[in-house]
Structure 1
Amino acid sequence: MKTRITGILLLNIAGLALFFSWFLPANHGFWYSLDSGIFHFFNQGLAESRAYVWFLAVTNNRAFDGCSLLTMGSLMLHFWLKEQPQGRRRIIIIGLVMLLAAVIVNQLAQHLMPVKRASPSLFFPDVYRVSDLLHISTKDASKDSFPGDHGMMLLIFATFMWRYFGLKAFAIALLIVVVFAFPRVMIGAHWFTDIAIGSLTAVLIGMPWILLTPLSDKTIALFDRHLPQAFNKK
């Protein structure tokens, strides 16, 4: 792929505009009202339904994160099964490059974004927490929730699906983002803007330089030259 500098800059500008629309206003402007409203809407339900408490506990358990990996893997497996050995090898390498990109973008975002804030379950007083209502392992709080790293990883997966597998795969990947990222918001482990601002900003700024330039293709080619040829076996 040739470098699409216009597209890269437009996406970067969109990411910066999104971030500063949240970062610059006092108390984050209208974003705070949206964040607060979403959190309290879902939090009040914890007092009304035991089944709802269990639902949030299960969908925010670490094992459920494994389900997100299985779902993403299944989508890639769908394409892998259609390929010949060389194509299967390339899909495996795309997955490795995607993981590398996710680690780099996530680490840069965590260190470069000038924000540190606790999750809404710790910020607001006198709220319900799933861990107080059920004594099982679940993620319902974070001392530093911005940007949402889980949502960021899912969004990065979606961008790779768009780049290498097409719009239909991208649409399915976006559905995966919603299914597996939003429970963190519902339980109060993340603000809505941890994902909608933090994660999305990082992806809009970082991923175009990887996917809209030859960088990802060259990295895939590099891995292809140096990884064991055993990947070519059926």
Structure 2
Amino acid sequence: MANPTLFHAKWNLSRLLLCNFIALGLLGIWMWPTGHALFNQFDTWFFHLLNRPLEQSVLWLDIWTVASLRPFDAVVGLILLALLIKGDWVFKAVQVRAAIFGFVSILILLLIIRTLFSKWLDHSNLQHDSPSMVLDGAVRLSDIFPTLEKSWELKDRSSQSFPGDHASVLLIWAMFMSAFSSTLLQRVLIWGLALLCMLPRLVAGAHWGQDDYIGGMMIALLALGWGYYTPYAAVACNLWLKATAPVFGLLGRVPVINRMSLIEPDTR
């Protein structure tokens, strides 16, 4: 089985410390009363900038209503997955399987960090409601389309909006892809897509900007640091590769499917 090395089972202390320093620095600035007040002031302006056009343009309203539905998250997930497993774009075809196992392993670590951080938040007074619940004049999609909230899980509010879970996943995907990208165009497309897909929650008012650029960024940086700049990704990836080798060996014999980059390395 081809197993090109993407991850190295060694510590990169300088990058690990940098990720942790930036993450904790963001949290510290956010917790500082003066910093927190400035973030709130900026986010109030930013929310109204994005949210007010919902009542001024039917097209703007329709676009962000669709983008705020839960099924749209699945569409975004499929797009991110497709770019991750596309052979010979960011990753060579023979690297795709290792790449997806490494990313999934880091994503699991992100969820663990998010869970632990949430438990700490539960015992603090730092949690807050989303802007659509507290700001006067907010245009609420759930008020305009009440049936969509139940039938299609329209997301425009949260009583626990910090940190932005949706943003943290998009950011860790962008960071992971950027770590292996080789051209400026790739990085522009990766980050452009990630930032664009973060907008629906901000436009609808489910999250403040700080939930994403502070909370989401902090969680993503911690996951990247402890997942990629330690032996974690290499060890986890190798375990995944060994455990799934028989399955991919069988799939490698199935016509059409064995042409996929995710499957093909086993047949070479």
Q: TM-score, normalised on structure 2?
A: 0.78
2:157 is aligned, of 119, 141, 147, to 141
Distance 2:225 2:202 in 1: 26
Q: Provide the residue aligned with 2:136 in structure 1.
A: 125
Contact 2:76 2:197 in 1 (8 A): yes
Indicate the larger mover: 201-210 or 211-220. 201-210
What's the CA shift string for 1:95-135, capped at 9, x where partnerless? 43244233223323322344311100001134221111223
Q: Deviations over 1:58-81 (max 9, x none)?
A: 111111101211110110231279
What is the aligned counterpart of 1:83 among 78, 81, 93?
A: 93
Rounded Cα–Cα distance in structure 1 between residues aligned with 2:107 and 2:18: 25
Q: Provide the residue aligned with 1:224 in structure 2.
A: 241
Partner of 1:173: 190
Q: Is the 8 A contact 2:132 2:205 kept in 1?
A: yes
- Give the secondary structure class of the aligned counterpart of 1:79: coil
Give the number of aligned pairs. Answer: 232
- For 2:59 and 2:96, how far apart are their aligned partners in 1? 42
- Unaligned stretches of 5+ in structure 1? none
User: Which has the higher mean CA deviation after the structures are superposed, 51-60 or 2-11?
Assistant: 2-11
Q: Which has the larger radius of gyration?
A: 2
The amino acid of 1:125's aligned partner reads D
In structure 2, what is the equivalent of residue 73 of structure 1? 81
The aligned residue for residue 158 of structure 1 is 174
SS at match of 2:242: helix
Tell whether 2:108 aligns with 1:100. Answer: yes
Aligned to 1:39: 47
Instruction: Assess, with a 3 A threshold, how the Cα gap between structure 1 residues 230 and 98 changes in structure 2: closer, same or farther.
Output: same
Shift of 1:193: 0.5
Q: Counterparts of 2:193 and 2:246 in 1: how far apart (Å)?
A: 32
Q: Give the conservation status (yes or no) of the 8 Å contact 1:68–1:176.
A: no
SS at match of 2:110: helix
User: Are the counterparts in 1 of residues 110 and 220 from structure 2 also a CA contact under 8 Å?
Assistant: no
**Secondary structure in structure 1 of the residue aligned to 2:127:** coil
- CA drift of 1:30 comes to 1.2
Residues 159 and 170 in structure 1, CA contact (< 8 A), matched pair in contact too: no
TM-score (normalizing by structure 1): 0.88
Structure 1 CA distance for aligned equivalents of residues 244 and 158 of structure 2: 38
Moved more, 135-144 or 64-73: 135-144
Kindly state the Cα deviation for residue 150 of structure 1 after the two structures are TM-superposed: 0.3
Q: Does 1:184 align with 2:201?
A: yes
**Percent identity over the alignment?**
27
Contact 1:12 1:205 in 2 (8 A): yes
Task: Provide closer, same or farther for how the CA distance between residues 7 and 88 of structure 1 changes in structure 2, counting only shifts above 3 A.
Answer: closer
1:142 is paired with a residue whose SS is coil
Partner Cα distance (1:95, 1:215) in 2:
11
Q: Distance in 1 between matches of 2:35 and 2:214?
A: 15
Q: Residues 13-59 of structure 1, C-alpha deviation per residue, up to 9 Å, x if partnerless?
A: 11111122121115812111111001112222222122221111111
- TM-superposed deviation, 1:206: 3.2
| CA-atom RMSD in angstroms | 2.3
- In the TM superposition, residue 198 of structure 1 has moved relative to its aligned partner by 0.5
Deviates more, 1:170-179 or 1:50-59: 170-179
For structure 2, the 5+ residue unaligned runs are 1-7, 253-257, 259-268
State the Cα distance separating 1:158 from its structure 2 match.
1.8
Q: Deviations over 1:189-218 (max 9, x none)?
A: 100000000011112233201101111011
Task: Rate the CA distance shift 1:110–1:174 in 2: closer, same or farther, 3 A.
Answer: farther
